[in-house]
Amino acid sequence: MTLPTGVSSEISSPVLPLTWTAQVESQLLDEERVLAWLETNLDAQLYFSSGLVVVTNKRLLGKTGSDVNWQDWAYRPTLRLARHDHSGVGSLELLDENSLLVRWRYTLGSDTAARRLADHFNHQLDFQLTGEARQLNTETEAMCPRCGAVLDAPLPPGQVECATCRGESATPPSTWTLFRLWRFAKPYKWRLLTGFLLTLGSTAAALVPPYMTMPLMDNVLIPYQNGKPIDVDLVTFYLTGLLGAAVLAWLLGCTRTYMLARVSERIGADLRTATYEHLLKLSHAYFGGKRTGDLMARIGSETDRLNVFLSLHLLDFATDVLMIGMTVIILVSINPLLALVTLAPLPIIAWLIHLVRDRLRTGFEKVDRAWAEVTSVLADTIPGVRVVKAFAQEKREATRFRAANDRNLEVNDRVNKVWSLFTPTVTLLTEIGLLVVWIFGIWQVSKDEITVGVLTAFLTYISRFYLRLDSMSRIVSFTQKAAAGTKRIFEILDHVSSVPEPAQPVHLPAVAGRIELRDVGFRYGTRSVTRNISLIIEPGEMVGLVGHSGSGKSTLVNLICRFYDVTEGAILLDGVDIRALQVAEYRKHIGLVLQEPFLFFGTIAENIAYGKPHASREEIVTAARAAHAHEFILRLPHGYDSLVGERGQALSGGERQRISIARALLIDPRILILDEATSSVDTTTEKEIQKALENLVRGRTTIAIAHRLSTLQHADRLVVLDRGSVVEIGNHDTLMVREGHYYRLYQAQARNVDTEDNLRRHSVDPKPRTIVNE
């Protein structure tokens, strides 16, 4: 049998996992070849279990851990292989007409292999039945499991996201990256030009004293040794020139340093502000793949490093370049032959700088990432220190920090190894160059080709020349560090939000609050979360979203808030697609109360007024009263001016929740979203919060998610979600009569509550229970 068109021998003979090789080979028939395979890792109950599905040129083979024998299915017209995924679980279903023959399950880390297998199956099925094969999709050979992007090469084992997901570029940092800072330096171009002119003037003034040594030696000191009296007026003239040049260089240098330091600080501040503002505009998807410590390191330490580079090292570099250039001109004008000998080591030093730069630029980027990892461990551990202590994991976290710190040390050691060899080598070459000048200069003096004054001036200039050359070579280190930092900052600035602003935004003069979902679907990377959801929520209506964990409730709320954009369909507000509205303008009409309310460090009044910073104290108190928070606030030592502590730790969970309700009430939104607002508090506190919510819900379009279904009985409608799709819609009574999905959820929860109540009455702690998602 010939191979189908487009199938190479490499694709037709993939390398099987070692644990399955012998078993698969024992099942193969004559002239049967393996085309693709998928190693499954879940059973029907979603427990981890090993299995294998194989596509050959003659049939489909399959075996799971619970099967004793292999199963096989020959290609026939009614056979179909369907691939699905939801909430981190993928499945392959083999169908014969409308009947399900077998289902294999796997985690989405194997989704790329599943796509490849399904494509090979369809390719081979078409060829077997018609003799013509569909185009084989080779793009699935290397795809990012998270974002689904086609990659040039497969990801390394254990890596679950590509460089694009991490907001990183695969190319090493280049020195040319520093020129992108001109975007922030441009507003200060005239100050920079003035600073450059001052640098030019101070450098020129610093080169005057060595030039004045020639006449001092040849016209004053050497004639005096030969018996001629010293000309006091001539000496005074030369010494006055030396003093004037030194004072002028000092004055110009001070002015230049102060001016350029101020400019660099402002460039750094603008860079920091722009990066932070851009970061706030990015969608939730970006932050989902980033560590807080890494982002803090980029905005904090990287911009500080750039400030130091711009204010000190770049200024020194410019001075060195000017000094070397001017010195070369002076040396050539004094004696071209001696100047040529002096500059002989320059090509070797330039080659060394180029060689070391290539190694340092990748090394310093690794140093930055290693340090960001150390910072990330701190950012993870310090806010969660209560959990660390509660589970006695101090040693574990200390070990994790030590491991990150050791990696940082290892990367720095590699960079220092290169740098420790480079710096002494440059110093040695400069000393050799100075020795060559001495030898050649003494030879020229002995031949009366130059005077002692010329040689002295030459030695003074060449000492400064090599000193500046050595300094400039050391700046290579700082330049590459700055280039690495600039690259990491621009990785943020270059990232385009997945929730873009409209080019021509629509402005709604008034918002009624009618929300319509039209065939809404959403995929997170390669994982399908919701699909084909259509729903209309009328103004002032309260709709409850219910379903198992992972059914898509929170995702739907995130889509309505436009934290993410839908991948299919559309969401409309009062008949206008929300993607046509400005993001900030749209979200001003939404009040959000979360399960875990976040309070900022500050006073209670500041937290209530977060969405309306200029609210009066009377407005704040009115909102607090409506949220049933006024009474407990007055019991605090400083009332509304009491500090809530880091993340509101000075308050209880119920008190923080009522503060968040007051915060939502103050902005008076037309749309209200309650994401399990009472699931983490006790029954007594829940009643207080429910009273506050009654005031909050009144007259607003409300979408509520609740862990306790009993809290949604008074909703106008309940939308029941399962596996990302709507399965039932109706009020509580209607859905209970149907005895469908909602009825089973409610009964299961009621039985659990009754069991716990009975156990409490008899002073017995309820046993932990595990709820398995369907």
**In the prediction, which pLDDT does 751 show?**
67
CB 94 within 8 A of CB 81: yes
CB 14 within 8 A of CB 35: yes
Q: How far is Cα of residue 623 from the mean position of the Cα atoms in its chain?
A: 37
CA distance 192 to 581: 41
The more confidently predicted of residues 511 and 312 is 511
**In the prediction, which pLDDT does 10 show?**
38
CA distance 736 to 742: 7
Both structure tokens of 178: 């520093």
- 590-639 confidence digits (pLDDT tens): 888 877 777 888 888 888 888 888 888 888 888 888 888 888 888 888 88
**In the prediction, which pLDDT does 54 show?**
92
CA distance 310 to 308: 6
The listed range with the strongest mean pLDDT (59-68, 668-677, 687-696, 716-725) is 716-725
CA distance 268 to 539: 48
Owner of token pair 């009115």: 622
- Cβ-count burial of 610 within 10 angstroms (0-12 exposed, 13-18 middle, 19+ buried)? middle
Owner of token pair 């929730």: 499
List the single range of 425-439, 445-459, 467-481, 527-541 with lowest mean pLDDT: 467-481
Task: Name residue 758's amino acid.
Answer: N
Give alpha helix (H) positions in 532-594: 553-560, 583-587
CA distance 431 to 434: 5
pLDDT at 156 over 60: no
CB 298 within 8 A of CB 488: yes
CA distance 314 to 260: 10
Contacts of 255 (CB under 8 A, 6+ apart): 198
**In the prediction, which pLDDT does 572 show?**
92
- 304-340 confidence digits (pLDDT tens): 777 777 766 777 777 777 777 887 887 788 778 877 7
Both structure tokens of 691: 């009273």
701-705 vs 671-675, strand pairing mode? parallel
- Reported as a pLDDT band with limits 50, 70 and 90, residue 196 is confident
Compute the average pLDDT of residues 204-223.
77
Mean pLDDT of the chain: 76
Compute the average pLDDT of residues 205-214.
77
pLDDT at 303 over 50: yes
How big is the chain by its Cα radius of gyration, in Å? 37
Both structure tokens of 301: 């330490």
The more confidently predicted of residues 650 and 127 is 127
**CA torsion angle 719 723 727 733 (round to 10):** -50
pLDDT at 127 over 60: yes
Compute the average pLDDT of residues 544-559.
85
The listed range with the strongest mean pLDDT (468-477, 573-582, 645-654) is 573-582
Closest Cα to residue 149, out of 568, 566, 530, 523?
Answer: 523
Write 251-254 long-range contacts (CB < 8 A, 24+): 252/198, 252/201, 252/202, 252/205, 253/198, 253/202
pTM for this entry? 0.59
Both structure tokens of 54: 């194989």
List the single range of 85-89, 446-450, 509-513, 619-623 with lowest mean pLDDT: 85-89
CB 453 within 8 A of CB 223: no
Compute the average pLDDT of residues 209-226.
75
Q: What percent of the chain has pLDDT over 90?
A: 1
Q: Provide, for the chain, the percentages of residues in helix, strand and coil under a 3-state DSSP scheme, each rounded to the nearest 5.
A: 55, 15, 30
- Reported as a pLDDT band with limits 50, 70 and 90, residue 393 is confident
- Reported as a pLDDT band with limits 50, 70 and 90, residue 291 is low
- Reported as a pLDDT band with limits 50, 70 and 90, residue 360 is low
**In the prediction, which pLDDT does 767 show?**
41
Contacts of 660 (CB under 8 A, 6+ apart): 593, 594, 597, 598, 599
- Reported as a pLDDT band with limits 50, 70 and 90, residue 684 is low
pLDDT at 153 over 70: no
**In the prediction, which pLDDT does 9 show?**
36
The listed range with the strongest mean pLDDT (344-358, 424-438, 723-737) is 723-737
pLDDT at 148 over 50: no
Compute the average pLDDT of residues 642-658.
77
